A and B are shown apart, each in its own frame.
Chain A
Amino acid sequence: MRLSSWLVALSLFAAQLVPLDQAGFERMVEVHRGKVVLVDFWATWCDPCREELPKLVSLQKKLAFELITVSADEPEQEGAANALLEREHVLEPRYIKRSDDDQAFIDAVDKKWSGALPALFLYDRKGVRIGSFIGESDPAEIESAIRKALR
């Protein structure tokens, strides 16, 4: 194995997802005030989530919003989740839920949310949630909601 391959392997090993609990989620939204934020809840087991990731990445190249990913994977899948985000060139911040109580976590994000993935939540510059996309969504609809928020 060449040194460069070792370095890549090492950097993948070193890169970890940031653990996030429900209190952390609320702080995270607060910290990003001033920006339009799209929070993407996804998981390695969720096919439509994986299909959606590259679309969100290309949208981020086009529009000035912050994309935050939160993996809903179990701790055992953290490595796989991280590798997938690397492969799809998803930028940080990249989180993974760490909660003893998924229900409390889901409710902290949105009381109306069932926990179904994919789930996208759009926040305006004031940190107010202005939209959500649950299940498979039309990328054009997501783009138009972000454009509206950026106006």
Chain B
Amino acid sequence: MKFAFALAASLLTTLAIQGQEFHLGAPVSDFQLVDLQGASHSFASLKGDTTVVAFIAVRCPVSNAYNQRMEALFKDYSSKGVKFLFVNANVNEPTQEVKEHAQQVGFTFPVYRDRGNVADLFNAQVTPETYVIDKQGVLRYHGAIDDSQNEARIRKHGLRAALDEVLAGKPVTVAETKAFGCSVKRARPHRATE
């Protein structure tokens, strides 16, 4: 019996680790998001446009430090034909709270909920964390919006630089960046014990 439990636990762990399906340089498959009114939307309906997927949070001060920068990104790049999917995948933040937060902050873009495994597919770990998918549906950038929570200290605009290169049809020079942020509060906690 004990063995069966151990086996089940190890299988679950393996599944959790293997949950990531989207990789840099490879095409992403379709995924579903739910808007704050409860309607489902599929990524496939956006195919053909360069798309930014951004995992954000309500209660994460780092994510909140980027609210105005997200708004500016949305404004600057929507006009260039880029689509934005801002996703709240945190199970501890109810949809009502996400709605109120979006109103208070004054987001002019829609925020979506992850009701499935979208955070797992992208292996999103931290908020804010962003991804750029090109017109062919290939994942071209993964990482931070920029390299400093404090706007005065930004040295590298990771996401903007990647978007500019993708829109210009060029290879992305720095395709992966990292920054400190809050962990994504997913239904299945991430464990990385080596």
Contact = CB atoms under 8 A, between A and B. Distances in A.
A74 interface: yes
B178 A114 contact: yes
B61 A117 contact: no
Interface string B45-64: 00000000000000111100
A130 B192 CA distance: 10
A145 B194 CA distance: 11
A43 B180 contact: yes
Contacts of A74: 149-150
Contacts of A106: 178-180
A117 B180 contact: yes
A130 B178 contact: no
A102 B146 CA distance: 11
Given A134-B125, A136-B185, A45 B61 contact: yes
Interface of B is mostly: loop
B107 to A, nearest CB: 20
Contacts of B144: 103, 115
Contact of A132 (B149, B179, B193): B193
A150 interface: no
B178 to A, nearest CB: 4
B193 A72 contact: no
Given A132-B192, A132-B193, A133-B191, A46 B182 contact: yes
B190 interface: yes
Contacts, number: 81
Given A45-B61, A74-B149, A116-B126, A131 B193 contact: yes
A100 B192 CA distance: 27
A123 B191 CA distance: 16
Contacts of A76: 150
B180 A102 contact: yes
B120 interface: no
A72 B180 contact: yes
A26 interface: no
B117 interface: no
B189 interface: yes
Interface string B150-194: 100001000000000000000000000111111111000111111
Contacts of A102: 147-148, 178-180
25 contacts: A45-B61, A45-B182, A76-B150, A102-B147, A102-B178, A103-B177, A103-B178, A113-B178, A113-B192, A114-B125, A114-B181, A115-B144, A115-B181, A116-B126, A116-B182, A116-B183, A117-B180, A117-B182, A117-B183, A118-B183, A133-B193, A134-B183, A134-B191, A135-B185, A136-B183
Interface of A: 43, 45-48, 72, 74, 76, 100-103, 106-107, 112-118, 129-137, 145
| 10 closest Cβ pairs, A-B complex | A135-B183, A114-B125, A45-B61, A116-B126, A116-B183, A103-B178, A131-B193, A72-B180, A116-B125, A115-B178
